[in-house]
Structure 1
Amino acid sequence: MTDGTDAARYDAVVVVSFGGPEGPDDVMPFLENVTRGRGVPRERLEEVAEQYMLFGGVSPINAQTGALVDALRAELGADGPDLPVYWGNRNWRPYLADTMAEMAHDGVRRALAFVTSAYSSYSACRQYLEDIDAARAAVGPEAPSVDKIRQYWNHPGFVDPFRDGLRAALADLGDRDARRTHLLFTAHSLPLSMAASSDYELQLRDAMELVAGHVAPDAPRELVWQSRSGPPQVPWLEPDVNDRLRTLSTTGVDQVVIVPVGFTSDHQEVVFDLDTQAAATAREVGIEVRRVPTPGVDPRFVRMVRDLVEERCVGATPVALGPLGPRSAPCAAGCCPAPTRPG
């Protein structure tokens, strides 16, 4: 990769995402891709596969990423920089290596990568850098150089849609003292060892305050976790959103707003883990719950991507809210190291 310290002209943008199955026959191959090399038992894969089957074996993420790609093409075409936009996934079609080969065939020499994860951690950032390097290696010397765009958890284009969603959710719950409505900000849990080697939790807490502090400064709020997938003997970030809902119900809390601030779109881990599982837990314990939507293709989020492209293409001033400021680019060598997996 190039060092990314100048404002040299790029000739393409590639959106890099996680990917997801698009039909029942895709589910197990997709899950095998996700867990390859991690020693996950077949029974666990089958258990997760059943969650996808509740939705016809289709994850929403590919349709959502495709919509973002289309919106970004329109945004860049209208307001510049006028660059072609490609799309490659980590775990399902269109695979990143295939996309990199297409870019090479089209004559792309230097590209910017926008990753659909706003935060720092191994799985949210460093692993995508590894994926890009592996895809380039698969293509060979004709592969374009690729620079990853910085993290954007505190960019107004990411924060403002959550603020508006929180306002709407509180209004929908009715006219009452905001201090009696508990706010749960959720993100994907990580092993403690992985969380300790990055600013993931710090950035999430910053995003929580940027949203809640602006909209409902007196409302009690906390960061909770979801989507844990590791073996029980490995400690992960806690508490789980379902456990917290059960505990809150014993303290008299009867209204909760869930803000999935760890995610950019309403994909499988939002519609199953929150809209299905957490919603069922809330009903079970007598809590009325509202869930704030993710940015998706909100025009402000799409404009944010253009802003981030302009930072690198034409040296535009980085924009960020709050005390942490914009994350520098490129990532420092050795940041967010890969976790040590059990042998």
Structure 2
Amino acid sequence: MQTKIAANAQALKRWLGKAEEVLGNHSDRLNAINIFPVADGDTGTNLYLTVRSASRAVAEMATSDVGELLAEAGRAAMEEARGNSGTLFSVFLAALAEPLHGTARLTGPLLAAALERAEIRCWSALSEPVAGTMLSAIEAATRAANTADAAQNGDDSNHGLAQTLNAAVQAVLEAVVATETQLDLLTEAHVVDAGAVGFLLVLDTLRASALGEELQPELLEGLHGYGVQDPHIHLDHRAEGMEVMCTINLSPLDAATLRLQLDELGESVILSAVTEVPDGYRWRVHVHVQDPEAALAAIRQFGEPAHLSVTALSAAAPDQEPAPETAADGACGALSADG
């Protein structure tokens, strides 16, 4: 039975905390089906660690402004974003905050506007956005929220928010199932996209936290490759190269120039502004390359990067993967496919 809805700043803190737990519980299965854009088997771990940064940054934050809360969560996530999926989700979170500044509670129309803003930012952050990924899941959520009655009629009631969130989750589930037919790698492996599944888990956690309801374990039933009995599919695909990530202050022109240079050097290029600074913005940079030294040289011509990491993309066996610091199962245990 639904409890009283209070989609305020406290509810959004609960969302991020529960999302951290859910992703911790699901990291192994998400890693197992991670074969796009590279089969490095770490999507679940990267999403978990990125959301953990966001959750911990706002856990003790004293504010009733949901935009301010999510902006701080997005900033923290962006500064410490992990991998392609974590970087993209941090862009989503930061952009989600923008239309919500000055508001004390989430409504259907506000959620629709926030999702639309986040979709635009996420697609523009990637040099070569690809459908059949988390981007398609975000797009589906945005479309559903903006065509829901609440957005169409300006309904800011709790009932309108509930309808909007339920429609968005259902649309994302359909988008997740469709990813298997949108990318040849996924079709051949007979799996859905790991990043899209991760976004589904996070969005259902938002629904549950905002509406005072339980998570929906049935969402995961039948997703190809996601059963606990399924193998680590990413191990059948060899990943090569290095992943370079950092944060650096850049002018808009320098950011555009760096993006062009990284596009020539590698793939999966993501650049997104974190916060405004004198003479420009602080940017999160992500790229997959064969020669990390060339990428670092391109970055360092504009200044010294912070939060720099250079890691191999080669997949590890399941028992070699770093175990996330998962919290106790708690409320999210019901959603775990791993038992």
Q: What is the TM-score when the length of structure 1 is the normalising length?
A: 0.29
- Bigger Rg, which one: 1
Q: Report the structure, 1 or 2, having the larger helix content.
A: 2
